[in-house]
Chains A and B, each alone.
Chain A
Amino acid sequence: MKDKEKLKDKRFKIAHREAKIGVVLVVINFMLWFGFAYGLGSGDPASYNYVFGLPEWFFYSCVLGFIVMFFLVVYSVKFLFKEVPFEEEEERGNQV
């Protein structure tokens, strides 16, 4: 029983850490999105700068912001996330 509890503790620790990473990513996502959109886009629309034909605020906030978030997500999953078994006994490492 004690061993089982320990295994659970360990899995929960991983799960909790990954949930926190999720929260951090959302905060970064929001800051990129909000900062670029209203930081660059709050002036007179007639005097916007353009990147690849798109208004600067839109390019950085929505297009680049998406790409940056995608790579942050890939990085987090590849290097920070750990695989854990879900079932206690059966099916461990049984990949199809």
Chain B
Amino acid sequence: MNWQVIIPLLLFLVVIFSIGFWASRYVRSTDSFLQEYFLGDRQMGGFVLAMTMIATYGSASSFIGGPGVAYTKGLGWVLLSMAQLPAGYFVLMVLGKKFSIIARKYKAITLIDFLKERYKSNAVVIIAAVSIIVFLFSSMAAQWVGGARLIESLTGLSYTTALFLFAVSVLFYVIIGGFRAVALTETVQGVVMLLGTIILLVATIKAGGGISNIIQELVAENPNLVSPYGAERDLTPIYVSSFWILVGVGVIGLPQIAVRAMSYKNSRGMHQAIIIGTFVIGTIMLGMHVIGVFARAILPGIEIGDKVMPTLTLEVLPPFLAGLVLAAPMAAIMSTVNSLLILISSAIVKDLYLNYLKPNASEIQVKRASFWVTTLIGISVILFALSPPDLLIWLNLFSFGGLESVFLWPIVFGLYWSKGNKYGAISSMGVGMGSYILFDRLYPNALGMHTVVLPVLLSLIAYVIISKMTHKYVLSSNLHLETNG
């Protein structure tokens, strides 16, 4: 074991733990447990908001999987990764103010609360809760596997031990601290991710003898590595562009991101968050993927993509700094996992248990249910991750696409189109989820685009057509209700 690398990692864990403890004081003393535990009492300022969005969004695939693919494909994959830049400003600009105003008006704590109030439909609530649970669970398992693999490769512990170590540390502070702990630890994690990227980028360029030198070495190996088409010339413009839907504008449809667009304090905070967020996400995505490409000139012949980033870090940095930089992917993974955990827990406790099983649950019962559900989900993810499926990046992206196909239009039209109604929302969610699974199984990357594109289009069409068709019916039945009531 390399203690010089491990000590900074341990220090990082200690900081995260202390934040969890600190936040748990708020959870114990609050007079509104649900709002505090699942939303941090809507107290986030601009910096925390920006960091929590980025840290939730940036995951194992930004630090481990992505640079690994960039290593094999070259600058074309960096180009693709830059489709993520809009995630920094677009989500908050489009959801931003309207969502905050309406969520407060509805007293919504979860994304599903908003959908429930907006569409007044049990079917919407149940489809939404089930998709959050299914898709985010698989996404979380992928991150869990990534975290354990990382610890495994750094410390030499066995995969199982590493998995437990990772799981226990995350579960601990999420369970006791709730959303506030998640948001605050994510702020620290976001800063670690940003600094780690910058340090590693500088060290990599230095180790490779300057940018020109590195690029010329890549050209000498295969000129296509520096083209936008990828080393094998298999990255077509339409395929690369379709990622703008998946990881750029479609991010609006991700519940873990959308819920953050209603959890902040005031519009000044949101304005700051847009600026900080754009800068940080651009720097991390550009930096990490460029690092992946440059690594090829410094350490040729790495076969497993996921090993590129850890191996490079240990190669180009002195041990203590390497430990700090390797805390970045750890932070990225933890910060994604903790948000997903709290979100799934809120879907079960707030959206299913309180809505359908026990509407009159007392404060104590809700508290107990929240702690137990969070713990149980955590443990079942561990069991799932013990025999992990292989391709981390694709499993992770699968849930991105699935959630976007389900949630994108019900959220966007729910906010901006008053004629949109529950029939439109239900069919849009059904068509989105159904067609996503079908396309993924039967005809992936249809028409040369990422699988997500067609289901998102189909669910758009379903929403608009069905809402229009049922508009008169909804109007007349509402009128009926009003005259009767």
Contact = CB atoms under 8 A, between A and B. Distances in A.
A53 B266 contact: no
Contacts of B248: 26
Interface in B246-273: 248-249, 265-268, 271
Contact of A22 (B79, B93, B227): B93
B93 A25 contact: yes
Q: How large is the interface on B (under 10, 10 to 19, 20 to 34, 35 or more residues)?
A: 35 or more
A86 B416 contact: no
Contacts of B212: 50, 53
Interface string B265-295: 1111001001100110010001000000000
B219 interface: yes
Interface string A66-84: 1001100110010001111
Interface in B194-242: 210-215, 219, 223-224, 226-229, 237, 241
Interface in B64-96: 75, 78-79, 82-83, 85-86, 88-90, 93-94, 96
Contacts of A73: 88-89, 274-275, 278
Contact of A53 (B82, B211, B237, B282): B211
Interface in A48-66: 48, 50, 52-55, 57-58, 61-63, 65-66
A16 to B, nearest CB: 7
A18 B267 CA distance: 12
B444 interface: no
Given A70-B279, A84-B97, A86-B104, A95 B266 contact: yes
Contacts of A8: 101
B100 interface: yes
Q: Which of B82, B93, B265 has the most CB of A within 10 A?
A: B93
B45 interface: yes
B224 A45 contact: yes
A86 B268 CA distance: 11
B45 A96 contact: yes
B98 interface: yes
Contacts of B166: none
Q: How large is the interface on A (under 10, 10 to 19, 20 to 34, 35 or more residues)?
A: 35 or more
A12 B223 contact: no
Nearest to A22: B93
Nearest to B99: A15
Contacts of A57: 228
Interface string B393-429: 0000000000000000000000010000000000000
Nearest to A25: B89
B282 A69 contact: yes
A52 B226 CA distance: 14
Contact of B226 (A55, A70, A86, A94): A55
B244 interface: yes
Nearest to A34: B241
Contacts of A70: 278-279, 282
A11 B97 contact: yes
Contacts of A25: 86, 89-90, 93
A70 B79 CA distance: 17
A19 B94 contact: yes
A1 interface: no
Nearest to A19: B94
Interface in B419-442: none
A11 B101 contact: yes
A21 B75 CA distance: 30
Given A11-B101, A86-B104, A66 B89 contact: no
Contacts of A48: 226-227
Nearest to B233: A45
Contacts of B210: 53
Contacts of A63: 286
Contacts of B97: 11, 14-15, 18, 84, 86
Contact of A83 (B75, B85, B271): B271
A87 B86 CA distance: 28
Interface string A25-59: 11001100110011001101110101011110110
Contacts of A83: 266-268, 271
Given A11-B101, A46-B219, A53-B210, A65 B94 contact: no
Given A26-B86, A81-B267, 13 more contacts: A14-B97, A18-B97, A19-B98, A22-B90, A25-B93, A26-B90, A34-B237, A46-B219, A52-B211, A70-B282, A81-B271, A86-B100, A96-B265
